[in-house]
């Protein structure tokens, strides 16, 4: 165990993804940059009972490519997604562990809900055949099942935890993982999040909450998610997982690892206001961003890109934009904003991990992906929303922030790695 050193630099060396726009990094990134939407009419059940008929479903996913067939059968899909993303990231980082060498490898990997599908199946079985309820379902439906299974699959024997903060889960897991490296808890960590919220009762619940959107008249379902557009009226649910490998920068350099970016800031703050509505002026996310900037001295005038929560809800987008104006002042219009939920939908607990990955790739490739469906600026928001086509630009630092039900706010900052 190493001593804390909060000046220690943290590198991103591996990425993995399962998403509505692709189940590997090259495919997902290409579809994002080219503006190919992952939103379609939901196929898992008949959506006629709701106004929103779309979802960001994961397609063409072979679970047995990533886990043993028997293990797949007894666990929830969110766990398999998480394992798949983690194994991709691990391979991408090029790390090889000998048996017993995993003591310095941690896992900080969350889920907002865990395995609701597995719970629903068990409840149906309970109604008619109580003794047929699987003895495996409890261990396989918890929010931390994915983090435990990832450790088993990779042999990661260091600290293992699952941070749960609703829709900001992914962001908090990335941030806590980076701080764990600085604390000396581990030298390498698999972090991220996974979510499979496309079960009927949850979908209908969000619809009845009036959080989900509908397309403009005469438009396809791909039009529903339109962050910051004046006509925005709600989000689209999606599913998926994202995983990042973080390492002590010096150790990553020593082994010749490819370094995508550095994690240089993390902040967290609570609204303490309402379980659903964000606090006035977005004060909670403002404080999270301020903390991310100040914790390790990130110059706010060098933030060039924001990948925001940007759910496409009228109040949520407005209050988040107010937070940006509070933080960046007159420079706010100089910061590009890329709303990637317009392409993937809202992946709930997995959103922060997937959007963190997109932020890392933006910094690495110096490209800001376009926000789909942004046509009419909202004068109350007044941001530089990247739209029409993805933008090649200088990106020194990228900020990714998320806001979760319960008033949970998280922000992480990634820096372009230029070598030393």
Identify the active-site residue in 52, 162, 167, 191.
167
**The model's pTM:** 0.97
Identify the active-site residue in 53, 172, 296, 346.
346
Q: Mark whether 364 is an active-site residue.
A: no
Does residue 256 form part of some domain?
A: yes
Does residue 3 form part of some domain?
A: no
Does residue 159 form part of some domain?
A: yes
How confident is the model at residue 1, as a pLDDT? 56
Token pair of 148 as six digits: 């435990």
**What pLDDT band is residue 163 in, cutting at 50, 70 and 90?**
very high
Evaluate if residue 65 carries a pLDDT over 60: yes
Does residue 66 form part of some domain?
A: yes
Identify the active-site residue in 53, 309, 364, 408.
309
Q: Which CATH number fits the domain that encloses residue 24?
A: 3.40.47.10
Q: Quick: pLDDT tens for 267-321.
A: 999 999 999 999 999 999 999 999 999 999 999 999 999 999 999 999 999 999 9
Contacts of 316 (CB under 8 A, 6+ apart): 278, 309, 403
Q: Quick: pLDDT tens for 35-50.
A: 999 999 999 988 888 8
Does residue 82 form part of some domain?
A: yes
In the block, which residue shows the tokens 């599908």?
A: 117
Q: Quick: pLDDT tens for 205-234.
A: 888 888 899 999 999 999 999 999 999 999
Pure H helices in 10-165: 25-34, 69-74, 77-93, 116-128, 137-141, 145-154
Q: Mark whether 346 is an active-site residue.
A: yes
Does residue 43 form part of some domain?
A: yes
Q: Quick: pLDDT tens for 105-160.
A: 999 999 999 988 888 888 888 899 988 888 888 888 899 999 999 999 999 999 99
Mean pLDDT across 6-10:
90
Q: Quick: pLDDT tens for 170-190.
A: 999 999 999 999 999 999 999
Token pair of 376 as six digits: 């009419």
Evaluate if residue 4 carries a pLDDT over 80: no
What is the domain extent for residue 291?
10-416
Q: Mark whether 167 is an active-site residue.
A: yes
Question: What is the distance of C-alpha 251 from the center of its chain?
Answer: 26
Token pair of 366 as six digits: 């110096």
Sign of CA dihedral 92, 98, 99, 102: negative
């Amino acid at each position: 165990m190493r001593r804390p050193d909060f000046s220690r630099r943290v590198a991103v060396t591996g990425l993995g993804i399962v998403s509505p726009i692709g189940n590997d990094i090259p495919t997902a990134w290409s579809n994002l940059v080219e503006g190919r939407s992952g939103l379609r009419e939901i196929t898992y059940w008949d959506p006629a009972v709701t106004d929103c008929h779309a979802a960001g479903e994961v397609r063409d996913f072979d679970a047995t490519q990533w886990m043993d067939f028997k293990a797949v059968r007894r666990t929830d899909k969110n766990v398999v997604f998480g394992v798949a993303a983690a194994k991709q990231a691990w391979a991408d980082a090029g790390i090889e562990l000998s048996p017993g060498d995993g003591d310095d490898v941690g896992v900080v990997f969350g889920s907002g809900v865990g395995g609701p599908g597995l719970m629903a199946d068990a409840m149906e079985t309970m109604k008619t055949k109580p003794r047929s309820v699987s003895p495996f379902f409890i261990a396989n439906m918890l929010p931390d099942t994915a983090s435990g299974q990832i450790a088993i699959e990779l042999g990661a024997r260091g600290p293992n935890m699952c941070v749960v903060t609703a829709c900001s889960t992914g962001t908090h897991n990335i941030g806590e993982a980076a701080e764990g490296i600085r604390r000396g808890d581990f030298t390498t960590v698999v972090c991220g999040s996974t979510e499979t919220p496309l079960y009927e009762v949850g979908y209908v619940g969000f619809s009845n909450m009036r959080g989900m959107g509908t397309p403009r008249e005469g438009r396809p379902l791909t039009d529903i998610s339109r962050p910051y557009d004046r006509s925005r009226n709600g989000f689209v649910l999606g599913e998926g997982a994202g995983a990042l490998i973080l390492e002590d920068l010096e150790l990553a350099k020593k082994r010749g690892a490819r370094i995508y970016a550095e994690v240089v800031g993390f902040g967290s703050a609570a609204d303490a206001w309402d379980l659903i509505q964000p606090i006035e002026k977005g004060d909670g996310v403002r404080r999270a961003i301020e903390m991310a900037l100040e914790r390790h001295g990130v110059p706010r005038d060098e933030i060039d890109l924001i990948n925001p929560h940007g759910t496409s809800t009228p109040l949520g987008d407005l209050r988040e934009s107010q937070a940006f104006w509070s933080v960046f002042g007159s420079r706010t219009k100089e910061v590009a904003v890329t709303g990637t939920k317009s392409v993937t939908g809202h992946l709930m607990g997995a959103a922060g991990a997937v959007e963190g990955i997109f932020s890392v790739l933006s910094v690495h490739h110096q490209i800001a992906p376009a926000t789909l469906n942004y046509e009419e600026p909202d004068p109350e928001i007044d941001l530089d929303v990247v739209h029409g086509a993805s933008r090649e630009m200088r990106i020194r630092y990228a900020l990714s922030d998320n806001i979760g039900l319960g008033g949970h706010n998280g922000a992480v900052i990634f820096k372009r790695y230029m070598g030393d």
